A and B are shown apart, each in its own frame.
Chain A
Amino acid sequence: MAIQVNSIRSEFPILHQEVNGNPLIYFDNAATTQKPKVVLDAIQNYYEVDNSNIHRGAHTLADRATRQFEETRESIRAFIGARESAEIIFTRGTTESINLVAKTFGSTFIQKGDEIIISTLEHHSNIVPWQMLCEQNGAILRVIPITDAGELVWEEFEKFLSPKTKLVSVVHASNALGTINPVKRMIDAAHAVGAKVLLDGAQSTSHLDVDVQALDCDFLTFSAHKLYGPTGLGVLYGKRELLEAMPPFLGGGEMIREVTFEKTTYNTIPFKFEAGTPSIAEVIAFKPALDFITSTGKANIHRHEHDLLQYAVELLQDVKGVIPVGTAAEKIAVFSFNIQSMHPFDVGQLLDAKGIAVRTGHHCTQPLMRRLGIEGTVRASFAVYNSRAEVEVFAQAVTKIASLKNK
């Protein structure tokens, strides 16, 4: 089914504005997506009608808030195909989810001399927690190299795999280049040597079908705000047996069963990992975001975004001075590029003058940029509410900017 862009756009109030005298063209969706009205309404409704702290409340408001909160957990379970909702942990974001695994699974099950494999494509949030762990316990970090097109070198990955490998923590789709990694194959290969796999789904979950049982990944992390949901909310999926074996992350309320000053016993999953009052409004408002994606259809969204990406490539690939960065065969809708003899920051600022929002810089992937021999890129990333007409305006603006230094 084709996406009806105009009808979808009408659900996103923020898109209907002018920026610097031009209609806003929002192509910074890999950083965060905009929110449909149903999400905004849910936040407002929560505070106007149901605001109450969840769990253990003996009153009606607490019960309503708790029920809605837990309904979102169930929606997420269905969204990623998990066995049970207890395997869904709420965090503040992908970064916290990965840190949680590093601090609990990592510090318990990874020892001196063990190996953790990541890739050159990783975001800093899937590099630094493992570096910190390795510094602490003497484990070794292995980094899968990439080709110039931005694809992982499979043979090198295979060479790293050994009984010493305890964890493969890899991005599903690269935020900087868009590359979709062959994660099913990677998971199977990692499991064959007894390693667990964490999938960083920050970029993939909004574009691709991510089914944790079909993939058989051990952990999956993602952030609500990249799936048309609120900021400040992340998800950690983990297999029950792993979550149960892991020690708690933060100590405090909610995560305990019984506290005496001598000893505390911990709550069951998922609550063991949810110390303190969570982002209740955000969790509740995430459900309509997931419903929006499901009712629009992941396959439809992916097809639409992919069409926009192909259109952008088609319009810009032969423009003098435009250098696409990241040309993997399998990509999410991320168009990263540079303009010959220009700094990405300047290009971004000139596009902003035309009302076009893109991201510029290293995209929190400095090691990747170093590997590619560049300082950064300009990144246009597409979402369901973007149109071919917007891609045309963008391509015209880029063509004009490129002509400044590339006569």
Chain B
Amino acid sequence: MSTIADIQNEIVAEFEILGEDRESTIFYIMELGGNLEPFPEDFRKEEYIIQGCQSKVWLVAEEKEGKVHYRADSNTDITKGLISLLIRVLNHRSPKEILEANLDFIPRIGMGNILGSQRSNGLAAMMNQMKRYALAFQTKQNA
């Protein structure tokens, strides 16, 4: 299985192909949202909404055989695309791998530039919430 670093490099390479054109980059991100697995309706509740995002983002995580399985959804297509990238990088990994991951693909693809500070803050909030889930599972594993 590719490492977190490998997948981040893949993503950076994909965005490099898109080049500088902001519109096609956003279209691409919106398309990526289609890769998200369907979000279980039972979890579409206030308590699973990530605070700090302007759009609504629901995130749930489960632990299966020592690996974390994330599912997420949003009411905006761009945000869905962004979460799909985070999930692609972090899904089905051990809590330890997730906590140690250096997620540098976001600045490397110039996301702050493309999407502005509001979306970038939202993205950071999503990343933190994903790590928080990993930390909770790790604590449980070590207990």
Contacts and interface: CB of A to CB of B under 8 A. Distances in A.
A311 B23 CA distance: 25
Contact of B76 (A20, A21, A345, A354): A345
B75 A375 contact: yes
B132 interface: no
B115 interface: yes
Interface in A342-399: 342-343, 345-346, 349-350, 352-354, 361, 375
Contacts of B27: 350, 404
Interface in B33-73: 54-55
Contacts of A342: 77
B26 A349 contact: yes
B23 A343 contact: no
Contacts of A375: 75
Nearest to B20: A21
A375 B77 CA distance: 15
B25 to A, nearest CB: 8
Given A20-B22, A354-B23, A349 B78 contact: yes
A369 to B, nearest CB: 14
B94 to A, nearest CB: 34
Contacts of A353: 22-23, 25-26
A346 B22 contact: no
B76 A350 contact: no
A304 to B, nearest CB: 30
B54 A345 contact: yes
Contacts of A21: 20, 22
B23 A346 contact: no
B56 to A, nearest CB: 9
Contacts of A345: 54-55, 76, 78
B55 A343 contact: yes
Contact of A343 (B26, B76, B119): B76
B22 A343 contact: no
A139 to B, nearest CB: 32
A349 B115 CA distance: 7
B16 to A, nearest CB: 18
Nearest to A350: B26
Contacts of B77: 342-343, 346
B30 interface: yes
Interface in A32-64: none
A383 to B, nearest CB: 23
Contacts of B78: 343, 345-346, 349
Residue with the greatest number of chain B CB neighbours at <10 A, chosen from A20, A343, A346, A361: A346
B116 to A, nearest CB: 8
Contacts of A350: 23, 26-27
Residue with the greatest number of chain B CB neighbours at <10 A, chosen from A21, A343, A349, A375: A349
Nearest to B113: A20
Contacts of A20: 22
Contacts of B115: 349
Residue with the greatest number of chain A CB neighbours at <10 A, chosen from B20, B76, B119: B76
B24 to A, nearest CB: 9
Residue with the greatest number of chain B CB neighbours at <10 A, chosen from A21, A345, A404: A345
10 contacts: A20-B22, A343-B77, A343-B78, A346-B76, A349-B116, A349-B119, A350-B23, A350-B26, A353-B26, A361-B54
Given A20-B22, A343-B55, A352-B116, 13 more contacts: A343-B75, A343-B76, A343-B78, A345-B55, A345-B78, A346-B77, A346-B78, A349-B78, A350-B23, A350-B27, A353-B22, A361-B54, A404-B30
Closest 5 CB pairs of A and B: A343-B76, A353-B22, A353-B23, A346-B78, A20-B22
Interface of A: 20-21, 342-343, 345-346, 349-350, 352-354, 361, 375, 404
Interface of B: 20, 22-23, 25-27, 30, 54-55, 75-78, 115-116, 119
